[in-house]
Structure 1
Amino acid sequence: MKRKTGRYSGYIRPIQILIDLIFLNLLVLICMRPAMSNFGYHTIISVFWLAISYYSGFYEVYRYTKETQILGKLIKQFFFISLVTFAYVGYKYKYVTTDEVWDYTFTCFAAVAFLKFSIFYLLRKYRLFYGGNLRNVVILGNGKSVEELAYFFNDNPDYGYNLMKIFDLKTNKKESLEEACIYVLDNKVDEIYGSLNSLSNSNVEDLINFADNNLKTIKLLPDNKNTLLRNLAVEYYGYIPIISLRIIPLEKEVNKRFKRIFDIVFSVLIIFFILSWLTPLLAILIKLDSKGPVFFKQRRNGLNYEEFICYKFRSMRLNPIADLEQVQKNDPRITRLGRFLRKSSIDELPQFFNVLLGDMSVVGPRPHMVSHTEMYAKSVDKFMVRHFIKPGITGLAQINGYRGEVETEKDIINRVRFDIFYLENWTILLDLKIIFKTVINAIKGEEKAY
């Protein structure tokens, strides 16, 4: 099972950020005096640009974002940038005139605005003329709001929504919903839009469970704005309000990039300062302890349920059931050295290569072997939600006692509960807290580390 949506390339926003920074720094040479082009100013303007854009959501522009909203983001961004520039000039270069600063600010505004709107409109043309960057959608329900949304999708092909079917649910609602779910799976539908006017609470709950367990996005369509609930994300397609049921911070491009940079830096430090000398030493000890390779490789499911090869230091004797059965307490397959490696979690260190390659993150839901993932996906409610983000070397579930062998149904249910909490409440501070507690637990030793 693979999930591919019509999201545009993840390289567009980083490239846009880079070009914006080039504009900001190069235009200093054109619009300001040469003395302004110095390391101090370039550093300050670049850092403040990134910080302001992060908190203002400057780069959070979506296919349904209005041009007026983009303009508002530009005005807000450059209002603060102009304050930073005036403050710096006033403090250090009293001979630089106000006109020079305004010329620089307006020129930068025009250049960045041209780039931002060009990308926005080019993506629309790309969807319209080439059919790219599409998201397949279905609508469940009937009524005025459904008709308006269907008209919006059909009348605005440049938004990139491909309305495949409407299930009106007017007759035999239960069978119609079952038919819709089968259709969604068989036709690679990305998003499900349900009208609250046509769905009961139990219908909504069933649809949410279906979407979560099959990695589909579900959004609800209210007939009355006043019925909107708290803590749900509200987006507007034109003037039509749409409710998003789950907010995942790591879906924001800036958060995703920030976490990726953190992962790269952290994994490089571990590889350079620890694995560079530890790997040759452990290679000798592993070889002396038992026959077989130094590294254990296993297929696991990661982001969007895609499979990848997970690396560990080999801690077991070669056996034919390594990919089928989890390690148990006092497992005879574990070598003498392996017991120490597993108890100290040192066997997991090669996964920092997985982090560097982009298959994993330092922190995230722990990936399971493929055979177990397929089993849990069928038996554990919302298990598939974990695959909306990259798996991690450690995670919130692991530091709360749910690591290692799944002994009871309660273990896997609680593991999923912690994983979903993590993906809905991610912050970099939470990552740092999990890493710190993981190190402490590794030093102290854990009961289920076997």
Structure 2
Amino acid sequence: MDAREALVPPNPRDRKKAGLAFPDRRRTPRPPLAEIRRGGKLNLLPPIVVTGAVRMIEFLIVTVLGFAIYLGYVEQKDESLHLVYLVAVVIAATANMAIVQALNLYQMQAFSGFVRGFTRTAFAWTMVMAGMMALAFFVKVGADFSRVWIAGWYVSGLIALFGERLALSLLAKRWIREGRLYRRAVIVGGGAEAEQLIKALEASADTDIRIVGIFDDRGPDRVSPLVAGYPKLGNIDELVEFARNSRLDLLIVSLPVTAETRLLQLLKKLWVLPVDIRLSAHTNKLRFRPRTYSYIGNVPFIDISDKPIADWDYVKKWLFDKAVATLAVIVLAPVMLLIALAIKLGSKGPVLFRQKRLGFNNEQIDVYKFRTMYAEATDAEASKLVTKDDPRVTRVGRFLRKTSLDELPQFFNVVKGDLSLVGPRPHALKAKAADKLYADAVDGYFARHRVKPGVTGWAQINGWRGETDTQEKILRRVEHDLYYIENWSVTFDLYILLMTPFALIKGDNAY
């Protein structure tokens, strides 16, 4: 399994489409873990988002061209036909989208083949225009439409769709080489069950996964170093570390449903990861109704856990974060300048304080704050939390911490992409509840890192902010964070943002 094979789709049919050979994995030595990690640095492009974007682009191409030609040529002769032409344009664009969909040209596999894709797209567009002219003839409204407009729209549409499908095929081929159109998956559990599962996946058409390897706690005397040609990469603890340092989209557990105790042990370790978790069901004798299962190709699985905020939800949250954070930076710029001036006049040292904190998937990020302590007393690792009347805090800093105005520079973190507007608050590396590190004080603490941390959050507006001098406080905070993750929506984010100022007025526990 060399670096080239790391980009090979598991499906033989997809391998042919990618133009790649069939390496003999059985005689390939186990690759270094670092090499496999390097193959997964780029983010997955969710198929539902890519196909949705292509639909939207082609709908806009047809609509904009049709109405633009009308405005440039026909409107000069008769301005009373705005509505007639607009309706015709929208109907044609919708019909084109429907025919392209029926021809399966909005599937990921169709994007990389330009000749076949454009030929069928041109056929669909021709059918739409022929249908429009036939409909206009039979309902006797053909005289209302300009022949120059129809011809110009048809030709310009073909040219624009040609360019769009050519660019799409080039992008798709690049994304295939980079592995961005396939979910990176690992099999949890080796042995005969894993081998049968892998063979079923490779024999199934239209799978969207690329198997990276196997993880199993059992030793080489019980699990072979190669399972169906794929290497065993480590045990379950190493899997958690692997997922922290490489892109991983899917965990497939190949244990039988009847192994309840073992499944619970595994899931207790794995549910903190921001990935989809599926339980293989293709060898189970106990069968449920079809709607109970999800499928990868033709292989059935039972859904155990889903990656939070995925697909279009991720896009909506990203747009919401960028738009609101950019607006906040512009509106609050005068306030931040005044705060910076007050800090400079109040004590020596820099205006901003940069602190390492744990972000999405336990990645370390630099979080910006206004400096609230004397420069010589700052604690970058938060090994000692700030308490009431803490002598390390400056007079200006006390006011900023009480009102949370010291957090305003974190809007720049949101624009940068390290933080979200709303989410679990990022904690310092050595933050403690009483005398315990947060991860030791709360079982499953790292599950809160399945999404990006936020400037504000559900826990904060419910009073769980500030000092964590007891284990109970951090426990309640984490419970609220997990509730937010499981119940996220844009409306929920907006509600938390609107309630944040009222929560700050109380100022409880913030020193």
User: What is the TM-score normalised by the length of structure 2?
Assistant: 0.64
Q: Are positions 1:411 and 2:411 aligned together? A: no
List aligned pairs for 1:16-95, cutoff 5 A: 21-28=56-63, 34-35=69-70, 95=144
1:316 to 2:373 alignment: yes
* Residue of structure 2 aligned with 1:299, choices 356, 361, 367: 356
- Quote the offset at 1:109 in angstroms: 13
Verify the 8 A CA contact 2:402 2:507 in the aligned structure 1: yes
In the TM superposition, what is the alpha-carbon distance from 1:366 to its structure 2 partner? 0.4
The yes-or-no answer on 1:266 pairing with 2:324 is yes
CA RMSD in angstroms comes to: 5.2
Letter in 2 for 1:336: R
Q: Work out whether residues 190 and 214 of structure 2, in 8 Å CA contact, stay in contact via their aligned partners in 1.
A: no
Superposition deviation, residue 193 in structure 1:
2.2
Greater shift, 379-388 or 305-314, is seen at: 379-388
Q: CA deviation at 1:350?
A: 0.7
Q: Match for 2:396: what amino acid? A: L
Residue pairs, 1:4-19, within 5 angstroms: 6=40, 9=43
Structure 1 residues 388 and 213: CA distance shift in structure 2, 3 A: closer
Does the Cα contact within 8 Å between 1:141 and 1:197 map onto a contact in 2?
A: no
* Match runs of 1:19-418 below 5 Å: 21-28=56-63, 34-35=69-70, 95-96=144-145, 118=169, 122=173, 126=177, 135-140=184-189, 146-155=194-203, 159-162=208-211, 164-165=213-214, 167=216, 180-185=235-240, 190=248, 191-195=250-254, 197=256, 199-213=258-272, 217-222=276-281, 223=284, 226-227=287-288, 234-252=293-311, 254-274=312-332, 276-318=333-375, 319=377, 321-323=379-381, 324-372=383-431, 375-418=437-480
* Contact 2:55 2:106 (8 Å CA) reproduced: no
Going from structure 1 to structure 2, the CA distance change for 1:281 and 1:163 (only over 3 Å counts) comes to: closer
Q: What whole-Å deviation, never above 9, does each CA across 1:369-400 have from its counterpart, x for those lacking one?
A: 12239943344222212222111000111112
Does the CA contact (< 8 Å) of 2:275 and 2:307 recur in 1?
no
Q: Distance in 2 between matches of 1:209 and 1:321?
A: 33
Query: Which has more radius of gyration?
Result: 2
Partner of 2:7: none
Given that residues 271 and 305 in structure 2 are in contact (C-alpha distance below 8 angstroms), is that contact kept between their aligned partners in structure 1? no
Count of residue pairs brought into register by the alignment: 410
Q: 1:62 and 1:418, CA in 2 relative to 1: closer, same or farther beyond 3 A?
A: farther
- Whole-angstrom distance in 2 between the partners of 1:229 and 1:203: 25
Checking the alignment, whether the CA contact within 8 Å between 1:247 and 1:424 is kept in structure 2 is no
Distance 1:320 1:228, change over 3 A: farther
Please give the alpha-carbon distance, in whole angstroms, between the structure 2 residues aligned to 1:125 and 1:282. 49
Q: Residues of 2 paired with 1:172 and 1:289: CA distance?
A: 67
Structure 2 distance, partners of 1:18, 1:132, is 14
> Unpaired segments of 5 or more residues in structure 2?
1-33, 76-81, 110-116, 118-123, 223-233
The Cα shift of 1:355 comes to 0.6
For the residue of structure 2 that corresponds to 1:291, the secondary structure is: coil
| Compared CA separation, residues 285 and 27, structure 1 to 2 (3 A) | same
C-alpha spacing 1:215/1:10, structure 2 compared with 1 (3 Å)? closer
In the alignment, the residues of structure 2 paired with residue 364 and residue 250 of structure 1 have an alpha-carbon distance, to the nearest angstrom, of 11
| Alignment partners' CA distance in 1, 2:166 and 2:105 | 12
Distance 1:11 1:378 in 2: 35
Deviation string, structure 1 residues 37-91 (Cα, Å, up to 9, x no partner): 899969x97xx99xx99xx9x999789xxxxxxx9xxxxxx9xxx9xxx9xx99x
Of residues 110-119 and 196-205 in structure 1, the stretch that sits farther from structure 2 once superposed is: 110-119
Q: In structure 2, give the amino acid aligned to 1:447.
A: D
Determine helix, strand or coil for the equivalent of 1:250. Answer: coil
Partners of 2:508 and 2:318 in 1: CA distance: 31
Out of 462, 465, 488, the position equivalent to 1:426 is 488
**8 A Cα contact 1:33 1:96, kept in partner:** no
Residue 149 of structure 1, CA deviation:
1.8
In structure 2, relative to structure 1, the CA distance for the partners of 1:117 and 1:237 (3 Å cut) is farther
Distance 2:267 2:163 in 1: 40
Contact 1:299 1:309 in 2 (8 A): yes
Q: 2:344, 2:350 within 8 Å by CA — same for their partners in 1? A: yes
Confirm or deny: 8 A CA contact 1:313 1:348 kept in the other structure. Answer: yes
How many Å separate the matches in 2 of 1:282 and 1:124?
45
User: Normalising by the residue count of structure 1, what TM-score does the alignment of the two structures yield?
Assistant: 0.71
Q: Give yes or no for the alignment of 1:447 onto 2:508.
A: yes
Query: Offset of 1:246 from its aligned partner?
Result: 2.4
Percentage identity across aligned positions? 29
Provide the rounded CA distance (Å) in 1 between the counterparts of 2:508 and 2:55: 51
- SS state at 1:162 partner: strand
1:28·1:36 contact (CA, 8 Å) conserved in 2? no
CA deviations on 1:224-264 (whole Å, 9 max, x unpaired) are 6744899x8x4312221123322345221x22222122112
Structure 1 gap segments, 5+ residues each? 64-70, 72-77, 174-178
Mark the CA change 1:427 to 1:62 in structure 2 (over 3 Å): closer, same or farther.
Answer: farther
| Structure 2 residue matching 1:371: 3-state secondary structure | coil
Find the aligned partners of 1:385 and 1:94 in 2 and give their Cα distance.
65
Provide the rounded CA distance (Å) in 1 between the counterparts of 2:393 and 2:45.
43
Moved more, 283-292 or 149-158: 149-158
Indicate conservation of the 8 Å contact 2:274/2:451, yes or no.
no
Residue 74 of structure 1 is matched in structure 2 by: none
**3-state SS of paired residue (1:197):** coil
